[in-house]
Chain A
Amino acid sequence: MSWGEIYNTSWWGVAIDTASSLGTKPDFFSGQFTMDVRSGGVEAKKCVADWTHETALKDLNN
């Protein structure tokens, strides 16, 4: 499955599209950004990114 297909069929891809059209940030992906802002620094960025990526990709298996 190509990235475009993943993007178009997953809820997070749809979320990004929908949010973009509304001029807002999708909650899921902006979570890492806002956590960084709130905390003053995320130490384990890769762990958050991996978790986000993994959780999002799992959606495709259903």
Chain B
Amino acid sequence: MSDVFIAFQANEDSRPIVDAIIADNPEAKVVYSPGLVKIDAPNRLVINRETIEEEIGRDYDLQEIHLNLVTLSGHIDEDDDQLSLSWDH
């Protein structure tokens, strides 16, 4: 078992994204460092468009996360509704 992670710039725009990730991934750990929010999760981490929409109260295009995305690790599986990171093939 190893961790996947994703990191965002620490700002107003990424806060609801981080909140949505925490809501959807109970095992995720959030590490705040200056200017950066890094989220580690064992094996798998998923970002759901719907959860983000609930947080921000408007329609959301998942591609918007790239405006604040800094880095990530794990194999990416993404479509319009969700983006997940894992080590599965």
A joins B in a complex? no
Q: Which of B's residues lie within 8 Å of A, judged by CB?
A: none
